Structure 1
Amino acid sequence: MGEFDLSAYYGKVHSGDIVDNTDILEYIKSFEQVVLWGASYLGSAMGKYLLENGVNIKEYWDMRCNELEKVNGINVVMPFTTQNKENTLVIFCIGNNVIRSGLLKNLKINGYSNVIRGDYLYMGTVCPFCNGMEIDSKVCQGTMCCRSIFCQRLSSIVKNRGNSENPLHMFSVTLIVNQRCSLKCKCCTSYMNEYPLNKRIDVPTDRILEDIDKFFDAMDSVGTVTVMGGEPFMHPDLSIIIRKLLEKRNFGIISIATSGTWPIKEEQLIGLNDKRINVSFSNYEQSIKPNQIDVMRKNVELLKQHGIAYTMGVYLPEWSVPSTLYDLNDSEETMIKKKKGCIMPPRCMQVKNGKLHPCDFGTALYSIGIADYEMDYVDIASSTSRDELRQKIRSFIDQPYYRTCGHCAGLMGLTSKAAEQGYMDFKKPIDMNLFK
C-alpha cells in the first residue's frame, strides 16, 4: 500500500478546481483488494470510472445483493464479508447523509480502516463542474450520483464567484415552508408527528417572501437552497415562493425535497423549469400505501411532461433514529464539544417563519414549543438593515455552542425501514431494543 495524503486530495476536490487524479489512482491500485460499498448510482459510476482507469475491483457491498447480483460485471455481496481487511480498500459510495455517519462508524467497528469517500472521489474524477462554470441541476442532480446539498465542491464553485475578502457564505440553507405533511414517519428528522394538530400549518407566504429578501440580500453566497416542510407541495403558493428565490443570483441550486405523496397541481409548477431547480423525490415505496405510490408516480409523470428536472431517491434498507427532544442538562463544556463535533451547523441551517435556526433539530425544539432559547436563532423578521443582519448571522455561526446542543443526543441508531409509518414519542427516553 502506497503513501497518500487523502486530506490534501479532498481539499483540492472541494476547492472547485480541476484535479490531477494520477496519484489517487496509483494509491487505489496499491491495495490488494478494492471494494465499493454501495451499488447504486454513485457506486456504479465510480466503478465504471475505476475500471476504465485500470483498477481491479474485487466486489461491491450492498444489502440488496440478492436483488442486484452484479454491477459493472462485478459481484455484489453483503457488507463486511470481505477477508484480508488490512489489505482491503473500501470506497464508500453511499450518498445519503442521514445514515452515512453511522455506516462509516460500522466500518471501523468491523476492522476496515482503509477508506476513501466515494462522493469526494466522484467530485474529483467524474463531476463535470469546476470554478468559473454555471451549475445545471439537470446535469448535477440528474446523474443521481451525488446530492448538491452535501456537495462541498458545488459550494466552493458558488462561493468563488464573488470577490469579497471576507465573504458571508453558507454551504447550504433550508427554507421551511410549512409544518404539515402527507406522511406520518415514525422517525421523521423534522419531528412532524410532534406538532399539535393546531400547529400543522403553512408558513404565511408574505413572511416567506420577506425572509427570502432579507436573508439572501444579507448573504454573499449560498451553495444549495433546500425547500421543504413538512411536505412543500402542500403549500398552495409554492410556485410564488420558488419564483421569488429565483430572483436571487447568489446561490447554486434549489432542491425541492418531497415524498411525492401529495398531488402536485399544475399551477405549482409555474417557473420550476429552470436549470437551477431540481425536485427531489424520496423513495419510500416500501413504507407507504399503494394509493400514495400511485400519487407519487403521477407526480413524476407530471414533472416529466413539463420538462422539470427531478431525481428519485434510492430505496434505503436502513434509516436513522433521530435524537430525543428533552433537555439532557449538559454542561457548557459538553455543549461546546458537541457543536465542534457536529456536521450540521453551519451546513444545515434553516430559515423558518422569520428566524434562522442552527439545524432541523433546533427548528423543531422552537417550533413545537419545547424550548425557546434566544441564543439559538437569529430574528430575521426584526432586522432593520443588511449590515445588522450580516453581523448577527456571522456571530450566530461562530457561537461556541447552541443551547439546542444540550438537548441533542445525536444519532440514536439505525432502523431497518426508511419512512416507517407510525408514532414514537421523542419527548421521552426511547427503548432502542424496539428497533432490533
Structure 2
Amino acid sequence: MITERIIKTFIRPERYKTEVEKRSAYIRFSGLTGILINLLLALGKGAVGFFLNSIAIIGDAVNNLSDCASSIVSLVGMKLAMKPADETHPFGHARIEYVASTVIAAAIFFIGFELGRSSIQEILNPTELDFSFWMIVVMGISIAFKFGLYIMNTKLDRQMPSPILEAVATDSLSDVLSTSVILLAILVAALTGWKIDGYIGLGVAIFVAYSGVDIMRDMLNHILGKAPDEESTRSIVEFIEKYEGVKGIHDLIIHDYGPGRQFATVHVEVDARVDLLVSHDMIDLIEREISEEMGVHLVIHMDPITYDDPYVTRLYNYTKSIVSECEDFLDFHDFRVVRGPTHTNVIFDVTLSQECNQKEDVLRKYLETQLRELSGERIYVVLTVDRSYITSYAQSHIKAPGHYNPRKIE
C-alpha cells in the first residue's frame, strides 16, 4: 500500500507516453532511492562504529557504500540503454540492461563468497561476539530499511519488469539475510552462549551466492539469445491468427535486443485464390497493429497456398499422418505439389526437434518411402529442414502453426 502511494507520488506513470520512458522513470527512482538510503545507512553506521570502536559496524557501513555503487550501476545502465539506435547499433542499446544486471549479480555473488569465507573461518575458529545495545539498534534499522528497498524494488519490477530492478531487489534481500544472521547470532550468543553464527552464515552465503549466479546465468542467456518465453510466443501467434485471411503461420523467429526491443519474422499462409493486393494489405495491417499494440517490430513473409485441389489435399493428409507419428518432426509447412506424367514432386519444409540428429537425406528417404506406400505412386520428396527457434509448440500448448487442414478427402 505504501509502495503504491510512493510510486504514484514520485514516479507518476501517467506522465509518460511510451514504455521506454516509463521503464526509465522506474529504474531512475529505484537507483536514486537506493543511493540515498545506502548513503544514510553508511554514514549512520560509520558514526556509530567509530564511536563504539566496532569493526563489525564499520564493515557493514562499507558494505552499504558498495550497495551505493550497485545503484549507480543501475542508473548508468539505464541511461546507456535509453540511447537511441545509431549506425553502429541499429537495434538500439537496450541490452545494456542485461550487462548492468550482470555487474550487480557479480556483486551479489561476491557478497555471498565473502560471507561464506568468513563463516567457515568462524566455524573453524569461533570468536566471542560483543553484545552492544547500539549495535542491535543499528542492525535492526538497517534490516528494516533494506527490507523496505527489497519490497519496493520487487513491486516496481512487477509493474515494469526489468532485469535491473530484479537484480537490485535480490541485492537488497541478500543484505537483509546477511545482517539478520549477524543479529541473530549475537542475540543467541548473549542469551544461551551458543556460537551458531558461522553455521547460519554459511547457509545464507550459499543462498546469496546462488542468487547471484542464477541472475548471471539468466542474463547470459539473454545476451547469447535464448528461446523466447511461452507467453511471448503465444501472444504473437494468437495476435496474427485473429485475422480472417490468415490460414496458418510458421517459421516464427523472435529476436530479443533488450527489454522493450523485440524484432520478429514469420511466414503467414494465405489462400492463393485471394487477390494478391488484398492479402498484401492484410499483411501490412498486421505488421502495423502488432507494432502499435505489442511493441514488436514484425516482418511477415507471405506464402500463398492452394486449398481446393483434391489431389494436393490427399497428399497433404498423407504427409500429415506421417509427420504426426514421428517424434523427430514438430510440424511441416510450405506444402506444394508438382505433378508430372511419370512422377510427382512433393515439396515442403519440416521443422525438427532440437534433439533430432538424423541426417537430412535419411529423413527425406523415410518420408519418400512412406508417401509412396500410402499413395501407391512414384513420389519424390523435395525437403527443406528447419529448426525451431521458439519453445516447442507442444510444451507451449500452442497449436502447431501453418496447418489449417485443407478439406479432407477420403
Structure 1 length normalisation: TM-score?
0.23
Larger Rg: 2
Point out the structure with the larger helix share.
2
- TM-score (structure 2 length as normaliser): 0.24
Q: Larger RCO: Structure 1 or Structure 2 (Cα < 8 Å, ≥ 6 residues apart)?
A: 1
